[in-house]
Amino acid sequence: MATHVLFTYWAIALPFFIISAEYLAYKKNDPYYLALAKRWSVVMAVLFAVGSAAGAAIAVEFITVWYKWMYLVNQIDILPFDIEVLAFFSEVIFLALYLYGWDRMSRTAHMIVGGLVGLGSSASAVLIILVNSWMNTPTGFNIEAYLQSGQLTGVDPLSATLPIIALAEVPMGLAGAWFVGFGSIAGYFAFRKLTKKDMTTDEKEYYNRGLKLATYLGALDAIFLGWAGDNAGKMLYLYQPLKLATLEGVMQTAAGAPMQVGPITIPNMLSLLATWPPNPHATVLGYSSFVQADWDPIWYISHTAYDLHATLGIIGAIAVWILAYSFWKQPKNALFKAFGLDNPAEKKIPLYAMFFLGWLQVVAWESGWVAAETGRQPFVIWGPMVQTASGLYEIQAVMLTADGFNNSPEVLPIGIAIMVVLALAVAGTIYMLKKLFTGKEVSADISSARLIMATNAGGSSSLNIKRK
C-alpha cells in the first residue's frame, strides 16, 4: 500500500497540470506550455501503467491476505469497488484518446478528453476512499444483529456506499493528492534549474513556466486543503472521538483541550479547532474515557505520523502561498529581496525551498496514510460507540484487525512475491522514464511546439480550431 499510494497522487494531479499547460499554450500562443503538456503526458502514461500494475497487486493481496475482511466488504460494501472498475476503464480509454489525439482532434475536444482523464482518476480515488470511510463508520446493514449473532441482515448497498465520515475523507484525499502532486512537480522544476548547467534560453523559459504553473496550482489547492483538514478534525470530533484522541495524542479527557505539536503546547487550541461553532472550552474525549481494550496499541506511531503530516502540510501551504505571491508580484521590498523572492525563478534560496518543500510533501502524504491506518487499530472495521455501566465508552468492533487477515503461513510467499513485484515496478518506472527522455532534450519538444504554433498562426484564434 505504501508503494501504491506513491502512484495515486500522480494519477490524480498530473492530468490537471497537463491540461492547464495545454490551455495556456493555446490561450497565449506559447510553445513552452505546449511542450510542457506534451512531454508530461508521456510521464503520465508511464506512471499510470505502473500504478495500475501496483493496484492489481494490491487487489491480489486483498483477496488472499485479507480475505476475511474482503468477505464482509463483498457482502455489504462492494458497490464502490464495482463502480471503481468502470471509472478505471474510463480513465484508460480517455488516456489513450488523449495521447493519440494530439494533432488529430480539435483543441477543445482534446482538452475535454484530458479533463476526463483527470475526472476518471479522481473518481477512482473517491470510490476507494468511500470503502475506507465505510470501514471507519460502517453502515448499510443491521450492525447490532451482526454483533450479537454474526448474521448479516438488512443489507443496503446504496446506504453502505455513502458513510458519514466520507464527508471528511473524500475532500482530504483529493486535496492532499493534488497538493502533493503539484508540489512534487514544482520540486522537480526547481531541481532542474538548480542542477542543469549551460541552460539555453528556451530551456530556462520551459522550466520557469512549469515552475510557476505548478506553484499557482498548488497555491490554489492549498486553500481547499486547509478547509479539508479543518473539516476532517471536526468530523472526527463528532463521529470518531477515539481516533481523534489517537491522532492528537490526547490521553486525558479535558475541557479546553490543548494542542500538542512536538514540544509546543497551545492551550485550548484543540477544543477550538475541533468544534463548530468554535468553542475553546469544549470537552475533548481522551483515552481516559474509553475502556482500555479499545486503546490503540501503537497510538504513538499514529500520533507521530500525524504530527509530521500536519506540520509539513502547513509549512508547505504557507510556503507555496508566499512563492505564488512572489511569482505574481515580484515584490521589491527589502525583506523579500533578502530571501530572493523578488525573482524566485532565478534565485537559489526560493529554488531550494521549492525543491525541499515540494518533495517533503511526499513524506507528508505517506505519513498521513500511516497515521490514518495505524490510528484505526485495533479495529479493521469499527462499530458503534456505546457507554458502559462504569461510565466509560467502548467501541463495538464489527471486525478486529486480528480477526481480519489470513494468518496461514501459505500467504507468506504471496506477500513476498507482491513486494518484489512492486520493488521492480518502482525501479522499472525510473528506468523507463530515463530511457524515454534520454537523447530527447527539452529543446526538441519546444522546437516541435513552436512549429505547431507557427502552422496554426494564420488560422482562427478560437480554441475550436482543428490542427492540420
Q: CA 379: distance to chain centroid?
A: 23
Tell me what pLDDT residue 59 has: 86
Within 240-343, residue ranges assigned H as helices are: 241-248, 269-274, 299-329, 334-338
Same domain, 183 and 131: no
Residues 303 and 237 in one domain: yes
The domain boundary, picked from 356, 375, 394, lies at 375
Same domain for 219 and 367?
Answer: yes
Q: How far apart are CA 179 and CA 207, in angstroms?
A: 19
The helices-and-strands tally (H runs, E runs) of the chain is 17, 8
186 and 89 part of one domain: no
Which of 349, 375, 401 represents a domain boundary (last residue)?
Answer: 375
Query: What pTM value is reported for the model?
Result: 0.92
**Statement to judge: residues 138 and 168 lie in one domain:** no
| Same domain, residue pair 180 and 328 | yes
Residue 197 is assigned to a structural domain of this protein: yes
Q: Are residues 182 and 131 part of one domain? A: no
321-340 pLDDT per residue, tens: 999 999 999 998 999 999 99
Last residue of a domain, one of 375, 401, 433: 375
Same domain, yes or no: 132 and 172: no
Exposed, middle or buried: residue 108 (CB in 10 Å: 0-12, 13-18, 19+)? Answer: middle
pLDDT given for residue 453 in this prediction: 82
* CA distance linking residue 11 with residue 315, whole number of Å: 24
Q: Which three-class secondary structure string do you get for 228-270?
A: HHHHHHHHHHHHCHHHHHHHHCCCCCEECCCEEECCEEECCHH
d(CA 32, CA 51) in angstroms, rounded, equals: 28
Kindly state whether residue 386 falls inside one of the protein's structural domains: no
Tell me the average pLDDT of the chain. Answer: 92
Q: Is residue 398 part of a domain?
A: no
Rg of the chain (C-alpha set): 24
For residues 340 and 231, membership in a common domain is answered with: yes
Q: Is 386 helix (H, G, I), strand (E, B) or coil?
A: strand
Task: Report strand pairing: 399-400 vs 283-284.
Answer: unpaired
Summarised one tens digit per residue, pLDDT across range 408-456 is 888 888 888 888 888 888 888 888 888 888 767 888 889 889 988 887 7
Q: Is residue 395 part of a domain?
A: no
Low-confidence ranges of the chain (pLDDT < 50): 459-468
129, three cell numbers: 476512499
Q: Torsion over CA of 392, 154, 73 and 90, rounded to 10 degrees? A: -130
- Regarding whether 99 and 192 lie in a shared domain, the answer is no
Same domain membership, residue 181 and residue 57: no
Mark whether 317 and 424 lie in a shared domain: no
- As a whole number of angstroms, the distance between CA 68 and CA 266 comes to 43
Q: What is the pLDDT of residue 465?
A: 41
In a domain, 332, yes or no: yes
Q: Does some domain include residue 407?
A: no
Compute the 3-state secondary structure of the chain and give helix, strand, coil in percent, each to the nearest 5.
Answer: 70, 5, 25
In a domain, 463, yes or no: yes
For the chain, how many structural domains are there in total? 2
What domain range includes position 249? 164-375
Does some domain include residue 21? yes
pLDDT of the residue at 96 = 94
